Amino acid sequence: MHVYKSSSIYFYEKTVKKLSDDEKNQYHKENMKAADLVLVDTSIMPKTHEGLKNWVIEKSREKDYLLFTDVAKDVQDIIAGGPVPTHIKPIWPFIAFTAFNTLPREFKILYGIKESKIKDIILKFNLNFLKITRPFLPPFFRLIAPARWAKQRITKNPNLKFKDKANF
């Protein structure tokens, strides 16, 4: 969970704006609620973003703590190429490259992602390019579906129901 959260914060900060500690902690609290819904014992989880970040760094450096499980392999396969929604296929190589190359070093090792200076340069270029172009992209590419639906509910149709989302 934390790796996804940290990568998403890193990506957001590189392509939109820096987040304050309060904003990172709010995001952490929201993710804790999601973890609780899938029966993760959140009572033993660090209560701040920084606390969880430090815990994950410490644990990931322990010998044999990180395991490449069948679930990790499934995640790798999905990021590497599928299944990908048709409308995103043209930009999927960018998404996959960015997803793998924004992982913490220990997780890159786990997934077999090799580091190089050229990859670092390409990653920085891609993130800066996206930061510049993002405001001009259509909402379909800028916002995940739940965010678009929420905005539509608030601004255009306050009575919009989840089942009606396909009509937008």
pLDDT tens digits, 71-103 = 888 888 888 887 887 877 888 888 889 888 988
Distance CA 49, CA 6 (A): 9
- Residue for token digits 């973890």? 35
Are 47 and 89 part of one and the same domain? no
Query: Do 58 and 71 belong to one domain?
Result: no
Quick one: average pLDDT of 155-160? 66
Angle value at C-alpha 21, between 33 and 9, nearest 5 degrees: 65
Which of the four pLDDT bands, split at 50, 70 and 90, describes residue 167?
low
Q: Which pLDDT score, from 0 to 100, does residue 91 have?
A: 83
pLDDT of residue 154: 75
Separation in Å, CA 118 to CA 91, 101, 107, 123, 151: 20, 12, 19, 8, 39
* Mean pLDDT computed over every residue of the chain: 83
Q: Are residues 100 and 125 in the same domain?
A: yes
Give the integer Cα–Cα distance in Å for 79 and 59. 24
Q: How far apart are CA 151 and CA 154, in angstroms?
A: 5
Q: Which of these three, 62, 94, 111, is where a domain ends?
A: 62
Q: Are residues 39 and 57 in the same domain?
A: yes
Examine the domain organization and report whether 35 and 78 are in the same domain.
Answer: no
Tell me, yes or no, whether 35 and 89 share the same domain. no
Tell me: do 47 and 80 sit in the same domain.
Answer: no
Q: What is the total count of domains within the chain?
A: 3
Average pLDDT of 26-38? 90
Residues 94 and 48 reside in one and the same domain? no
User: Could you tell me if 129 and 80 lie in one domain?
Assistant: yes
Residues 6+ positions from 130 with CB-CB distance below 8 Å = 15
Domain that holds residue 20: 1-62
